[in-house]
Structure 1
């Protein structure tokens, strides 16, 4: 049976999900065309004419976090672009390369090995193998990912996959002080003086690390690694490899800017939660990932979310002067569940929290 015929003959969902083959398994079948379930409608494909080459998101050297120029560059980038890259953040290159390599190694494991981490098989709820975005969407995404919920001093990390566990944990330990610094700077830009316990539970109550894998795709122009969406996190810290493929919406809705990989840099983006608490001063921005015909792409995002039961709304400090709130107070778990109840839809989730 030819590869093209075999994909018609298999139950796609069973093959990709239940059997743990993932999109990686489809990619290895040597298909000439992708299954119709992965073909994006024309209006959701990236139009090459919309890519703006002369613009790029800011790259900020953070070797001195206390430098007023660094502070203003970060806050300005968060307000104008919603995205920026940071360099000289202090995380050794080796740590970054190791976690990226761990991403490749996990997805090279045999299917029966990976299948152990599917939700219903996983030895702990804190690690789960997933594919696509959610199965609620109309078109599937060309990606697989291993999701880790990180809690300090949680013994369940010992049950994470041996091939990647140590690298993920080492990366998180190095990233945590950088994340805290970033949030302190962003709060400073809002004239919020105190990073107290309530702010901490609103901004960094939960930390999720994904090993994302975008396998080779025979028709990258028809597929999406990730469709247009904005993150619901407070901030996302993304480590991307040299393959590239991340596009960010420009200052106009019909413009897309490629986030060129910079060795050793971290891509930072503002999520919906920071847009809500800042009462629209900082912006979460739509972005998408395009897949590649000749190279597998790996990236490692860290999503910083509020605690599930945290109530999120504009910071009181911003409303003291009589400024009108744009958002109401929402329980984060309600916001999270609403986002995942449908496919990615740009920034529509924010409507859920509007006054």
Structure 2
């Protein structure tokens, strides 16, 4: 069925992107092989020879932060942030039945007819804070990602209830609200570990812009040729991620590995009731490089459609992001320049996924060796 699309008239791009049919629309046609526009260059594909097992030993019981093991748990969180940049939390305060409802809601949204989802395409969506799309920046990508998504930026409850899609708004809003205290707790712990004061106003400023995404990865006839999400790091402070039971999230083990042949990737295994936490670029900058915003990516599968639901916790757009002054004084050098977060966001969304955006952002990064 892929032969109905021709390269010369951009019919596939129009079908998937402009008409809002998405990758699911392709799959629903009875696709038996991946169209050329989705075939990744070999160095971007997920080579299982470079997968170094899975992350089994970084699951943290967050409830113990409030008990006699506080210091031990705080150190475990900081260690994860300093090394891999990823960990999982259980007993986090988000109801487990809500997590299950979120997965159902995500499938419910993406199961709709294309014209229903297309109501939220950029330019026609009832709110600029709600966007349905596919891939990441398809206009800038040589090879598209095998993913559809709905993105919902929070401003207030009333706007969320009015403009977010009916099929998922209640679950998404509750997820965001019930995770807020968990995010505050983790962020405070990480800031205090740096020897920096972590008052509520500072924490809220650094995680005051919240965005809930629902990602849908349809079954893929040639998963070895594609990616669900290309290699990247997140731009914000902390990301909270709900996985379903299928798996497919990989994290780069050593950020200093510079060639595909030298890279090792670790799979973050789905754990029932757990949420994945990862460090974003903002927290790496604030910590003057102590914490790591790890590169990560997502594979596709031929057996079952996958969903994931991240919450991106980011600074308010007007906030100036730079290394904490206390750390600069201690280290004797600021490894990153200060930048207004809106400018950093603009840069992030201006190009396709290709590693750690902050490394290429010369306004932010100071030269250091």
TM-score, with structure 2 as normaliser: 0.92
Conserved? CA contact 1:96–1:239, under 8 Å: yes
Deviations along 1:215-238, one digit per CA (max 9) or x if unpaired, are: 111100001100111111111110
What CA distance in whole angstroms lies between the structure 2 residues aligned with 1:114 and 1:54? 35
Pairwise CA distance, 1:153: 4.0
Aligned to 1:92: 95
Asked if residue 79 in structure 1 is aligned to residue 78 in structure 2, the reply is no
Conserved? CA contact 1:64–1:70, under 8 Å: yes
Asked if residue 312 in structure 1 is aligned to residue 316 in structure 2, the reply is no
3-state SS in 1 of match to 2:225: coil
Aligned to 1:12: 12
Aligned to 1:223: 226
The 5 A counterparts of 1:82-231 are 82-135=85-138, 136-201=140-205, 203-231=206-234
Pairwise CA distance, 1:191: 1.2
Deviations along 1:114-165, one digit per CA (max 9) or x if unpaired, are: 1111112211112110110102122110000000001234435312111111
Deviations along 1:88-128, one digit per CA (max 9) or x if unpaired, are: 11211101011111100000001111111111221111211
- The correspondence for 1:345, drawn from 310, 333, 354, is 354
Pairwise CA distance, 1:322: 5.3
Pairwise CA distance, 1:194: 2.9
3-state SS in 2 of match to 1:124: coil
3-state SS in 2 of match to 1:65: helix
Aligned to 1:33: 33
RMSD (CA atoms): 1.6
- The correspondence for 1:286, drawn from 295, 304, 320, is 295
What CA distance in whole angstroms lies between the structure 2 residues aligned with 1:276 and 1:244? 29
Task: Go from structure 1 to structure 2 and tell me whether the alpha carbon gap of 1:114 and 1:55 turns closer, same or farther (over 3 Å shift).
Answer: closer
Asked if residue 296 in structure 1 is aligned to residue 299 in structure 2, the reply is no
Task: Go from structure 1 to structure 2 and tell me whether the alpha carbon gap of 1:209 and 1:54 turns closer, same or farther (over 3 Å shift).
Answer: closer
Conserved? CA contact 2:86–2:277, under 8 Å: yes
Task: Go from structure 1 to structure 2 and tell me whether the alpha carbon gap of 1:156 and 1:164 turns closer, same or farther (over 3 Å shift).
Answer: closer
Deviations along 1:25-77, one digit per CA (max 9) or x if unpaired, are: 01111212111111000111111110112654611111122311111100011
What CA distance in whole angstroms lies between the structure 1 residues aligned with 2:252 and 2:73? 24
What CA distance in whole angstroms lies between the structure 1 residues aligned with 2:351 and 2:98? 35
What CA distance in whole angstroms lies between the structure 1 residues aligned with 2:203 and 2:243? 29
What CA distance in whole angstroms lies between the structure 2 residues aligned with 1:157 and 1:130? 20
Mark the runs of 5 or more structure 2 residues left unpaired by the alignment.
Answer: 258-262
Pairwise CA distance, 1:251: 3.3
What CA distance in whole angstroms lies between the structure 1 residues aligned with 2:316 and 2:357? 22
Pairwise CA distance, 1:348: 4.1
Aligned to 1:243: 246
3-state SS in 1 of match to 2:81: helix
Task: Go from structure 1 to structure 2 and tell me whether the alpha carbon gap of 1:309 and 1:344 turns closer, same or farther (over 3 Å shift).
Answer: same
What CA distance in whole angstroms lies between the structure 2 residues aligned with 1:152 and 1:4? 43
Conserved? CA contact 2:188–2:203, under 8 Å: no
What CA distance in whole angstroms lies between the structure 2 residues aligned with 1:170 and 1:60? 23
Deviations along 1:237-277, one digit per CA (max 9) or x if unpaired, are: 10000010001111373101111100010000001000000
Conserved? CA contact 1:246–1:289, under 8 Å: yes
3-state SS in 2 of match to 1:282: coil
Conserved? CA contact 1:57–1:83, under 8 Å: no
What CA distance in whole angstroms lies between the structure 1 residues aligned with 2:330 and 2:298? 40
What CA distance in whole angstroms lies between the structure 2 residues aligned with 1:242 and 1:48? 19
Runs of 4+ with >6 A deviation: none
TM-score, with structure 1 as normaliser: 0.95
Conserved? CA contact 1:218–1:293, under 8 Å: yes
What CA distance in whole angstroms lies between the structure 2 residues aligned with 1:331 and 1:198? 16
